[in-house]
């Protein structure tokens, strides 16, 4: 009888041990499932957060680059007016400064936000390709504007050199005519006649200088559709005064 009870107790004990082991395995499995679910939810939340950050930065940088591009197109690095070119240079300097100030944000976008999002969506091929395409397009636009800024800076520098040269030549011609405007020479001997002849040669040469100056002016100003009207009129007035002085001196010479 005792042997029967002992056997029954062992059987019950074994049952509970097996049951406890199964419950333990079930708890372990449930714990693993819960951890996996929590991790999945955490990854979803992290992906959502990273995606929001990515698109927010992407849109901000895109708008910024569009703004820089639109403003850069408005800069006309060509004029006979040094003041105008300085004005355009100031606009360029502001754009270059703004562009430089965005460099850190641009690097963070590519080296941090983009890589983090790509790592999170690694198993989603379509979405990964879409994100990579957007990143590539933004990078191409950034590089293009960087190149355009470099070209604009070079063109402004060259335009200033041409403007300075043009205005220097124009001033020299004006000074020459101002100095010769009071010609009172009369032909009384051969020396005076020779003086008049040489002066006429100089006057003819100045006429060629005037033609070359007008051509330089046309070549410079026709490259831009945004000519400052006041400066254009001023230069044209200067040419008008020079033409008038040239004609006066020519008439004086013919009268000798």
Of the candidates 219, 217, 226, the one whose C-alpha atom is nearest the C-alpha of residue 75 is: 226
CATH number at residue 110: 1.20.58
Q: How many CB atoms lie within 10 A of CB 243?
A: 14
CA distance 100 to 106: 10
DSSP state of 189: S
Region 206-212 average pLDDT? 74
83 sits in the region (left: phi over 0; alpha: psi -120 to 50; else beta) called: alpha
Count structural domains, the chain: 1
Asked if pLDDT for residue 199 goes beyond 50, the answer is: yes
C-alpha to C-alpha distances, 38 to 35, 48, 248, nearest whole angstrom: 5, 15, 97
Asked if pLDDT for residue 188 goes beyond 60, the answer is: no
Report residue 165 as tokens: 């040269």
- What per-residue confidence (pLDDT) applies to 19? 64
- What per-residue confidence (pLDDT) applies to 187? 45
Region 208-218 average pLDDT? 75
Secondary structure (H, E, C), 206-230:
HHHHHHHHHHHHHHHHCCCCCCCHH
Q: Could you read off the pLDDT of 1-54 as tens digits, one per residue?
A: 545 455 665 666 676 666 667 777 777 677 677 666 656 667 778 888 989 999
Burial of 81 (0-12, 13-18, 19+ CB in 10 A): buried
- What per-residue confidence (pLDDT) applies to 215? 77
CA distance 256 to 45: 98
- What per-residue confidence (pLDDT) applies to 72? 94
Of the candidates 67, 58, 56, 64, the one whose C-alpha atom is nearest the C-alpha of residue 133 is: 58
- Structural domain boundaries, residue 169: 2-255
Cβ(156)–Cβ(89) under 8 Å?
A: yes
Residues 6+ apart with CB under 8 A from 64: 98, 102
CA distance 86 to 63: 27
Q: Could you read off the pLDDT of 125-178 as tens digits, one per residue?
A: 888 999 999 999 999 999 999 999 999 999 999 989 988 888 888 787 777 777
Residues 6+ apart with CB under 8 A from 106: 61, 142
CA distance 159 to 87: 12
Residues 6+ apart with CB under 8 A from 54: 109, 113, 114, 117, 131
More confident residue, 102 or 196: 102
CA torsion sign for 183, 189, 195, 201 is: positive
Q: Could you read off the pLDDT of 94-135 as tens digits, one per residue?
A: 999 999 999 999 999 988 889 989 888 888 888 899 999 999
The values of phi and psi at residue 74, to 5°, are: -75, -15
């Amino acid at each position: 009888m005792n042997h029967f009870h002992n056997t029954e107790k062992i059987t019950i004990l074994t049952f509970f041990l097996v049951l406890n082991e199964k419950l333990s395995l079930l708890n372990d499995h449930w714990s693993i499932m819960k951890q996996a679910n929590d991790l999945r939810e955490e990854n979803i939340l992290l992906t959502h957060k990273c995606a929001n950050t990515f698109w927010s930065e992407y849109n901000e940088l895109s708008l910024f680059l569009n703004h820089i591009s639109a403003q850069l197109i408005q800069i006309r690095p060509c004029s006979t007016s040094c003041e105008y070119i300085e004005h355009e240079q100031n606009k360029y300097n502001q754009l270059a400064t703004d562009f430089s100030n965005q460099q850190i944000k641009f690097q963070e976008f590519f080296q941090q936000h983009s890589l983090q999002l790509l790592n999170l969506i690694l198993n989603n091929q379509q979405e990964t390709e879409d994100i990579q395409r957007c990143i590539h397009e933004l990078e191409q636009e950034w590089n293009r504007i960087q190149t355009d800024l470099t070209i604009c800076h070079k063109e402004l520098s060259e335009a200033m050199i041409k403007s300075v040269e043009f205005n220097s030549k124009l001033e020299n011609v004006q000074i020459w005519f101002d100095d010769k405007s009071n010609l009172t020479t009369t032909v009384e001997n051969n020396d005076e006649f020779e003086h008049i002849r040489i002066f006429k040669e100089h006057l003819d040469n100045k006429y060629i200088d005037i033609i070359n100056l007008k051509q330089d002016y046309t070549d410079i100003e026709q490259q831009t559709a945004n000519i400052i009207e006041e400066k254009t009129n001023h230069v044209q007035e200067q040419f008008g005064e020079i033409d008038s002085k040239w004609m006066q001196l020519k008439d004086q010479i013919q009268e000798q």
